[in-house]
Structure 1
Amino acid sequence: MSAELDERVQRALADLAQVHGRVDDALRWATDAGTWLPAPGTGHTRVLWAFFAAAAAIDVAAARVLEPHLDALAILSQAPQPVDLAAVGAGDGSSWGVFAAEGAGLALEAREDGGRWRLDGTKPWCSLAGALSHALVTATVEGGARRLFAVSLRESGVTADDGPWAPRGLTQVVSAPVRFEGVPSVPVGEPGWYLERPGFFWGGIGVAACWLGGATGIARALLVASGKREPDQLALAHLGAVDRAIAAARAALDAAANIVDDPPADVDWPTLMLRTRGAVADAAERVITRVGHALGPAPLALDADHAARVADLQLYLRQHHAERDDAALGRALLDRLADSGRRPW
């Protein structure tokens, strides 16, 4: 890392410590960070993911704001053709989300008319849609394929619901449906490009870096408590187990970052993403459990910052599909064995 980049990282983390859960301030902070943080795959992926982790260790919700904004900027930079962002009023000060979830009974369709695209329908799980200026949104095009579009969320045809949203974690990062009625948009890549590009899998690993940061913040509560009085053998065992979990997750992320920046010819991006996300998610859940066992109810009941951090991370972790992602990884391993005869280990 260059001295200039390191200085910016340290200054940004110091600024984040002053945000204190205010979403508008977090959005401004994230938008500024997006002007200088490196994109994944450009030689500094490890720096980027380490920044995600360090930010989440301070404020999980702010990292939840930062990561999709940076992901959107990376997607736009990876687009095979230039994207006409001026057509949707986007510029350097825009704040971005990425809305790609699907939901039963909900559909978003994109139709072209005279060379102009418009979106109609409802998109679920749109985080911070009421606060962001722009988003990258997947929609179904003629023939049934999914395609990515850039859209202004301040168009008159956009209605961002404010719920239902009743979590105890990420309370201000509302993720609710958005309705689109004839909203102008511009395509980003061809149909299928969004899900097929290597950057899709890089973005999935970037989310895991935020999970690691949240777990690190929780683990620090145990470290501080252990330093205030002589720990017994059980407390030491919890501390050691937490350290192993965090070290293993960090090693998995660092290894993945090295592959992203210098990929071998036979790299399997889906497998790398599933392995790394799974390793980090497991580590984060172990940290939550171990710290809870070691410290008991007091910090969850009496320490507002710690209680919020645990609740935020528990909800954020549910972006990992747990056993379903493990099943997807198992299928990928068997398919590769059948296709090439190569064993994974």
Structure 2
Amino acid sequence: MHAAGALSVFVDVSTPERIDGLVDVLRAIGGADLSLGRVFEGHVNAAQLVSAYGDDAQRRALADDLDAGRVFGVWNTEPTPGLSIRQKGPDRWTLEGRKSFATGAGHLDRILVTARDATGGKQLVLVPIAGETARADNSGWQVRGMRGTCSGLFDFSDMPIGPEGIIGAPDVYETEPRFSAGAWRFTAVQLGAVEALVRHLRDHLVATGKGDDPIQRARFATCLTETRSAGLWVRRAAHLAETQAAEAIPFVLMTRGIVEEAGLKTMEAAARSVGTASFFAASRIDRITRDLGLYLRQPVPDQARDRAAAAWLEDDCWGDDRWW
């Protein structure tokens, strides 16, 4: 990805062409490997956050790191009592605490974390973690899918930081609509996997002659319509989110549910059409299904759809073609 320029090209997605490009790259990577897609999506998120909220020197350092092929990530989830910043001297601090579900723990180069400052604010901190493998504990990441993300624990205790690591003002991380609408990126990764699953299902139906069965064709047709429809939602969500449109949040939240439905229906169709062969470990269908089954469990999917529906009920947007 570094050789192809993908690590650096999407820091700036201020044009429709760049947005479409990011959508397509996320889909392509998700179709190849969902764990890699998850890592890449987090890298893009981190780079954009540093670019948006960092100062000029921090943006220059970001550019140098990306030119060198360094991979970034964002970690927010944490076990109690959470990650905090402790004053150790003028402009010198240390971090105390751990992050959990830390994608790429022990393997990334730079990580953007949220940590509580002395006032209780949630501060973004950029930490160099290359070589800090002893701080990572992936032993608890025993899951059926997405094993390659190595989403374990990472202990930041006593790690020193300086002013160069403090990104933006406290609480900018949850600035809307960027915070909630940014979820469109992982829907694009998931969509890529659903599209790959449809392709594998098609190949199976053609190779085995099952495509001559009208029941199989009807099942396949459902997968096509669900996936193509989800693709329209994802692309529109991307454009609304990256231009920070007022309606971006409910649209992205609803898109999460649309992609989830497409994924669940396609996984079930593939299992029913291919049968036992789809459950063997060497099967691409099995690999995608295991990874996608976990990845679709992103936080509170039911709440996301409920928030979207509530927003539409509160705001009469049906005459506004920007939704579509």
Q: TM-score range by the shorter chain?
A: 0.7 to 0.9
| Separation in structure 2 between the aligned mates of residue 222 and residue 300 of structure 1, nearest angstrom | 13
| Separation in structure 2 between the aligned mates of residue 232 and residue 97 of structure 1, nearest angstrom | 46
The alignment's TM-score, normalised by the length of structure 2, stands at 0.85
Displaced runs of 4 or more, over 6 A: 85-88, 155-158
What whole-Å deviation, never above 9, does each CA across 1:31-82 have from its counterpart, x for those lacking one?
x521334633443212101111012112222212211112111111211533
Deviation at 1:131, TM superposition (A): 0.8
Runs of at least 5 residues in structure 2 that lack an aligned partner in the other structure: 319-324
Question: 2:30–2:37: 8 Å Cα contact kept in structure 1?
Answer: yes
Deviation at 1:218, TM superposition (A): 1.0
Shift in CA distance, 190/223, structure 1 to aligned 2, threshold 3 Å: same
Match of 2:101 in 1: 125
What whole-Å deviation, never above 9, does each CA across 1:218-273 have from its counterpart, x for those lacking one?
11111112222143121011110000111111100121233245565xx1332122
Match of 2:278 in 1: 299
| Separation in structure 1 between the aligned mates of residue 202 and residue 11 of structure 2, nearest angstrom | 32
| Separation in structure 1 between the aligned mates of residue 133 and residue 85 of structure 2, nearest angstrom | 14
Match of 2:43 in 1: 69
Question: 2:102–2:154: 8 Å Cα contact kept in structure 1?
Answer: yes
Question: 2:254–2:304: 8 Å Cα contact kept in structure 1?
Answer: no
Match of 1:259 in 2: 240
What's the secondary structure of 1:172's corresponding residue?
A: helix
| Separation in structure 2 between the aligned mates of residue 238 and residue 143 of structure 1, nearest angstrom | 56
Deviation at 1:174, TM superposition (A): 1.0
- 2:83 is aligned with 1:108: yes
| Separation in structure 1 between the aligned mates of residue 40 and residue 206 of structure 2, nearest angstrom | 32
Moved more, 196-205 or 65-74: 196-205
What whole-Å deviation, never above 9, does each CA across 1:173-225 have from its counterpart, x for those lacking one?
21111111221231111111111144334431011100000111111111112
* 1:108-187 alignment runs, 5 A limit: 108-112=83-87, 113-154=89-130, 159-185=135-161, 186-187=165-166
Runs of at least 5 residues in structure 1 that lack an aligned partner in the other structure: 1-11, 13-27
Match of 1:98 in 2: 74
Shift in CA distance, 130/307, structure 1 to aligned 2, threshold 3 Å: same
Match of 2:321 in 1: none
Shift in CA distance, 118/155, structure 1 to aligned 2, threshold 3 Å: farther
Question: 2:11–2:51: 8 Å Cα contact kept in structure 1?
Answer: no
Match of 2:322 in 1: none
Q: Which amino acid aligns with 1:176?
A: G
| Separation in structure 2 between the aligned mates of residue 242 and residue 218 of structure 1, nearest angstrom | 9
- 2:199 is aligned with 1:199: no
Question: 1:134–1:150: 8 Å Cα contact kept in structure 2?
Answer: yes
Moved more, 206-215 or 184-193: 184-193
Question: 2:256–2:304: 8 Å Cα contact kept in structure 1?
Answer: no
Q: Which amino acid aligns with 2:251?
A: L
Q: Which amino acid aligns with 2:257?
A: G
The alignment's TM-score, normalised by the length of structure 1, stands at 0.80
- 2:269 is aligned with 1:313: no
Q: Which amino acid aligns with 2:86?
A: R
| Separation in structure 2 between the aligned mates of residue 302 and residue 218 of structure 1, nearest angstrom | 15
What's the secondary structure of 2:212's corresponding residue?
A: coil
Match of 1:4 in 2: none
- 2:189 is aligned with 1:210: yes
What whole-Å deviation, never above 9, does each CA across 1:80-134 have from its counterpart, x for those lacking one?
533547999x72332111101244x241002344122321111111111211111
Alignment root-mean-square deviation, CA: 2.8
